[in-house]
Chains A and B, each alone.
Chain A
Amino acid sequence: MQTTFTILLDGLSYASYLFIVSVGLTIIFGVMKILNVAHGGFYAWGAYSAAYAIGLAADLGFPDWFGFVLIGLSSMGVGLVLGLLIERLILRRLYDHEEVIIILATFGLFLVLEDLILLVFGVNPYFAYQPMVFLGSVELGGILRDVYSLTLLGLAALVAFACWYALDRTKWGKILTTVIYDREISLAIGINVNAVFVWTFVAGATLGALGGAYISPTLSVAPGIGIDIIVLSFAVVVIGGMGSIPGALIGALMVGILRAVAVHKFPEFELFVIFVVMAAVLMVRPEGLFAPVKARRI
């Protein structure tokens, strides 16, 4: 019972983290039809800039809670700067290329972003533990847990709610839905598709950076942290259905809980199981478990 509860909690907090990172990827794919490998770069940039800022603030004597402000600021900064630069300067020139060429271009971007990190932040790892220490721990299911990891659940719920609200309850959401269904018709009825693309990309990049920034206090931020998260978020997005936000939620939950069960019970299957499920979903239901309904065009 205790074990089940712990596995569930570990799984949920890992799933929340995966969801925050993956939802940006799925939004970008849904709207722009781009599978963005550079998403791992946004994640890494978010983690590095937050860790750097938190460390700096601690040295300057700012209180520990200020770290949360910095996490928000740095993810928005990264999303805005990198998102705008990359969309404006590179991606918009490639929209008429084959989708695999665009994937490859984002792979090139990912490599560039990786090394820019080394050039800007250096080669040593960063530890930004202050926010985690600040929140302390609480006993749940017989063991102590750090409150910080539990707040991931809240943040994920907040992100999910914000996405739902923005898409379903605002004018912007209606416009976005139109663009998702049919780009040409949207153009024809006077929607500024260009602007939709820019802001979608910035929003997606910000979410990727937020994932990295928020998780950074709980790990050592070191070169190469973006590599594994890309395939993991691909798995999440593919399992749930590329372009679907509820899909990303389901995908993240499945991957998170599977991984927690594996680590607790069958450690050697930790990585294997995630990709077996990904392959199985692709074989049985290629469009994913929660694919968005496709408008039929003739």
Chain B
Amino acid sequence: MRKKTLKNGLKMLALSVFTGVSVLASPSLAADSIKVAVVSFLTGPAAGPFGVPGRNGAELVIDAINEGAMPAPYGSAGFGGLKLEAIFADESGGNAKQVAEYRNLVEKQGVDAVLGYISSGSCLSIAPVAEELKTLTVMSVCGTPRLFEDSDWKYTFRTQAHAVGDSVAAALYIRDQLDDVKSYNGINQNYAWGQDSWKFFDIAMQKLIPGTTASDNPQFPQIFSGQYGTEISTLLLEDSDLIHSSFWDGDIEAFVLQASVRGFFQKKRFISVAGASAVDNLGKRFPEGTVIGTRGEFGILVRDREGELNEWFINAYRERYGVYPLESSYQYAQSVLALKAAMDKASADNGAAPDTDQIISAMTGLDFTSLAGDVSFALGKGHQAIHAVGYGITAWDDEKDKPTVTNVKIYPAHCILPPAGQLSEDWLAAGMPGSDC
């Protein structure tokens, strides 16, 4: 009896194992198309402000390129002649979940490349796995400089300039545009992006505006905590003139709403590195006079800028999704354009249907045109992009009944980012040699 039980248990084990085998999907790769996973937050607090607009930006540009409907220089149909078949995946659930999900995308669903990722946590944890699975991965939004400064990656690229650029541009903007800042504090999320943003902002402020003092009690609430009553009290009690924040997802909206009621924005200057999505989403509830950045020439900062690509993007996006493209829409589109440029180049060099290695060597060190500005893979041994970063001041446009920004200032890449081969921290400590803005 007992033996039989065990034998049956064994059978069950074997059975479950074989069911596993039979459902295995064999990845089939049609020669005239490439399958790419686009990963962004599709659920949770980061979906509305970042994930979904990012996904839409990628989808719009991918469809247009597949049909050959983009303006120059991206007018040719396809990616190196290949059609891109996109599958959209969710980035929420934490780093370990994302690593497991990435393995599934590559090994189960058989994608040829992966594009996207918003959180710095995702990027840091995905890069080693991309290396292990030898899969081209183009990262779109995440900001921590550690990605390419702590290690060299062959298969990973990032089309977004890293956090040092955002922090230095912020300090430059404060130096150039605000003259009453004597002391500052920050509220940033307690993970790679928030920690790095504050650290580099602090060093840049000390170097660029000597004499200002930083608070010794910067706030680091957990990401997605959504409730900032106590933190707001702490900041209000202090006499810092300016508060720096790199909040980006639903957190910036929650913070702004909670802080507005408490008169926060009448008492403090506020600089938001990546919160431009909230300017559109909150409308009149977003305080005027806030310094706002979009981490590049993206979103609301370039909404009225002329240029064929930019105007095409804004109009096509509004037509399809009914709203203006946000910062992340530009960032995801930029990654798609990088892939397009690299694959076009690779297929011109090697003939049709380039393989991963050929695309990688074409992308390494590549210069390409984005929607509203130029980008080049200049750092991280040709894998980390650099580009200009801008800031402006929020205002309400009564005539058009929509939010706008004034005093926009764009800082070129060489003023805000270290040269190739130099670590950010060393460059900042040395007083940012080569930065002449």
Contact = CB atoms under 8 A, between A and B. Distances in A.
Do A and B contact each other directly (Cβ–Cβ < 8 Å)? Answer: yes
Contact of A146 (B48, B231, B250, B258): B258
Contact of A144 (B44, B254, B262): B262
Interface string B203-218: 0000000000000010
A2 B237 contact: yes
Contacts of B44: 123, 125, 222-224
Given A220-B251, A222-B226, A123 B47 contact: yes
Contacts of A222: 44-45, 224, 226, 250
Contact of A263 (B45, B234, B236, B250): B234
Contacts of B254: 125, 127, 219-220
Contacts of A149: 229
A218 B256 CA distance: 11
A243 B237 CA distance: 38
A125 B43 contact: no
Contact of B261 (A137, A219, A264): A137
Contacts of B285: 129
B237 A220 contact: no
Given A225-B226, A264-B234, A136 B261 contact: yes
B253 interface: yes
A10 B250 contact: no
Contacts of A10: 229-230, 233
Place the interface of chain B in its size category.
20 to 34
A143 B237 contact: yes
Contacts of B251: 220
A125 B229 contact: no
Interface string A121-163: 0011101010011001100001111101100000000000000
A37 B416 CA distance: 50
B237 A3 contact: yes
Contacts of A225: 226
Nearest to A259: B230
A220 B253 contact: yes
A219 B228 CA distance: 8
A125 B237 contact: no
A207 to B, nearest CB: 19
A62 B37 CA distance: 44
B49 to A, nearest CB: 9
Interface in B123-155: none
A143 B263 CA distance: 9
A213 to B, nearest CB: 15
A112 interface: no
A63 interface: no
Nearest to B236: A143
A3 B237 CA distance: 7
A290 interface: no
B226 A219 contact: yes
Contacts of B290: none
B48 A124 contact: yes
A219 B220 CA distance: 17
B60 to A, nearest CB: 20
A256 to B, nearest CB: 10
A144 B263 contact: yes
Contacts of B224: 222, 224
A13 B261 contact: no
Contacts of B229: 10, 13-14, 146, 149, 218
B300 interface: no
B230 A123 contact: no
Contacts, number: 95
Nearest to A133: B261
A38 B57 CA distance: 39
A14 B230 contact: yes
A138 to B, nearest CB: 10
Interface string B85-102: 000000000000000000
B237 A137 contact: no
A224 B44 CA distance: 8
B261 A123 contact: no
A6 interface: yes
Interface in B60-108: none
Interface in A209-229: 215, 218-225
Contacts of A133: 261
A198 B211 CA distance: 66
A170 to B, nearest CB: 35
A6 B44 CA distance: 32
Given A142-B237, A144-B236, A129 B226 contact: no
A91 B80 CA distance: 61
A7 to B, nearest CB: 8
A87 to B, nearest CB: 30
Contacts of B361: none
Given A123-B42, A123-B43, A124-B48, A143 B233 contact: yes
Contacts of B219: 263, 267
B262 A146 contact: yes
Q: Tell which of A123, A133, A145 has the most Cβ of chain B within 10 Å.
A: A123
Nearest to A136: B261
A264 B235 CA distance: 9
A136 B43 CA distance: 32
A260 B230 contact: yes
Given A222-B44, A267-B220, 19 more contacts: A6-B233, A123-B47, A124-B47, A125-B44, A127-B257, A133-B261, A136-B261, A137-B262, A137-B263, A143-B233, A144-B267, A145-B233, A146-B261, A218-B258, A222-B250, A223-B44, A224-B44, A225-B226, A264-B233
Interface of A: 2-3, 6, 9-10, 13-14, 118, 123-125, 127, 129, 132-133, 136-137, 142-146, 148-149, 215, 218-225, 259-260, 263-264, 267
16 contacts: A3-B237, A6-B237, A10-B230, A123-B44, A125-B250, A127-B253, A129-B285, A132-B258, A143-B262, A144-B263, A144-B267, A146-B258, A220-B45, A220-B226, A222-B44, A222-B226
